[in-house]
Amino acid sequence: MTYVIAEPCIEEKNTACVDVCPVNCIRSDGGPQYYIDPVGCIDCGSCVPVCPVSAIFPLEKLPKKWKHYGESNKSFYQREMSHACKSK
């Protein structure tokens, strides 16, 4: 399981989740929302109650209308990895 940040984060971008994540796996690139690294997330759930707009869900409990956010969180980190490789 992993946690996913969905639509309510867009334009909100409250940093409470970033501050509580014990493994520093919530990041953004200056775009409209934050994303959770599905590989780094240890499923502790600490970010869920601190989000003021309830944007964070376990992957399995993502509302149907936001299912694609599971993929967009994952692809954010795949893009980040490919940038890191190209800049070496």
Residues that bind ligand SF4 (CB under 6 A): 3, 20-21, 23, 25-26, 36, 41-47
Q: Would you give the distance in Å from CA 33 to the centre of its chain? A: 8
Tell the smallest beta-carbon distance from residue 2 to ligand SF4 (Å): 7
Tell the smallest beta-carbon distance from residue 88 to ligand SF4 (Å): 27
Phi/psi at 48 (5° precision): -60, -55
Nearer Cβ to ligand SF4 (42/81): 42
Nearer Cβ to ligand SF4 (71/85): 71
How many other CB atoms are there within 10 angstroms of residue 46's CB atom?
Answer: 16
For residues 53 and 8, the answer to whether their CB atoms sit within 8 Å is yes
